[in-house]
Structure 1
Amino acid sequence: MTLLTTRVAPEWVDYNGHMNDAEYARVFSLAVDTLMERIELDAEGRKSLAYTLFTLETHLCYRREAHQGQALAVEVLLLDRDAKRLHVFFTMRDEAGELLATSEQMLMGIDTRSHRPAPFPPAVIEAIDALPHAEEGDWPQAAGRRIGIPRSLP
């Protein structure tokens, strides 16, 4: 499911001539905002439900350079969820469908009155259930990665 389409803005390009690493994070953050709209947590929903999402963790992987003016499309796949958390996987592709970056994120549902984690409201659960879901055991290859320097055993 494509959540967001945009283009690489001139101010996102760095001294290396391609989109700066922080701007990839910006695009994925904008995709989270769009995801929130899709699951009934737009400005009106956040206010009426007294509920929002916080990002707990993100793992961003850069695959290819993006350049000024290049079209970007961000898709989402729900890897898992429980009563108050979403484990999502975003992919960013160019107009030819080439993978530019991925962002795996853990999002937490928050009651804005108490500022504490809280279960998803029923309308939000219904909208979450309509998102594309990964089948158990069929996650994208880049999901669940750990960061580290591989070492060979002596």
Structure 2
Amino acid sequence: MTKVKNPLLQDSVRPNWIDYNGHMTDSAYAVVFSIAVDKLMNEIGIDEDFREKEKYSIFTLETHLCYLKEAHKGQNLYVNIQLLDYDFKRMHVFFTMKNDAGDSLATSEQMLMGMNMEDGRSAPFPDVIMTNIRELYDSQANLERPKEAGRKIGIRKK
């Protein structure tokens, strides 16, 4: 049984993540969400031992990051996950980064794909992993879809 809970990840803004504007640099937001993907992999059973033994991992195919509020040095960060959808080899996930006050600082919508590391090709989730993904999805069935999910980028024409 999967035990993925929110927050999935707890961290704090590290000094080397601060940019010339005095807040967390845009690339550091991406780093935090990448760490969250690693944490998710571990939580659903794709840990280091599993990757080595099964020659199986997850790759990020696409990401859409939205910056909502500034984060500052030393500030606590909490990353929640919502599994929006999945199939036999992909997961559509939505991460929300928050601060101590519960304010949303950023979101990252991602498409993740299971990969056979021996041949470098996409591959179905192993049964035990699929069970954990299904359980995560079912445990979140009552959650509303985030308003930022599925957003397009572009300049609105008047």
TM-score category of the 2 structures, normalised to the smaller one: over 0.9
Q: 1:68 aligns with which of 57, 68, 73?
A: 73
SS in 1 for 2:71: coil
Aligned 1:46-61 pairs, distance under 5 A: 46-61=51-66
Q: Secondary structure at the match of 1:74?
A: strand
The residue that corresponds to 1:9 in the other structure is 14
> What do the CA deviations read for 1:59-107 (whole angstroms, capped 9, x no partner)?
0000000000000000100001111000000000001100000000000
Residue range with higher mean Cα deviation, 26-35 or 44-53: 44-53
| Preserved CA contact (<8 Å) 1:3 1:34 | yes
Is the counterpart of residue 143 in structure 1 residue 149 in structure 2?
Answer: yes
TM-score, normalising length: structure 1: 0.94
* Structure 2 runs not aligned, ≥5 long: 1-5
Within-5 A mapping of 1:1-154: 1-132=6-137, 135=141, 138-152=144-158
CA-CA distance at 1:136 after TM superposition: 9.2
Cα RMSD for the two superposed structures = 1.5
- Inter-partner Cα distance in structure 2 for 1:17 and 1:132: 38
Cα contact 2:85–2:137 (8 A) shared by 1: no
TM-score by length of 2: 0.92
Rounded to whole Å, the distance in 2 between the matches of 1:112 and 1:136 is: 35
Stretches of 4+ aligned residues off by more than 6 angstroms: none
User: What's the secondary structure of 1:123's corresponding residue?
Assistant: helix
Give the paired residue count.
152
Confirm or deny: 8 A CA contact 1:51 1:111 kept in the other structure: yes
Q: Is the 8 A contact 1:80 1:88 kept in 2?
A: yes
Is there any run of 5+ residues in structure 1 with no aligned partner, and where?
none
Sequence identity percentage? 53
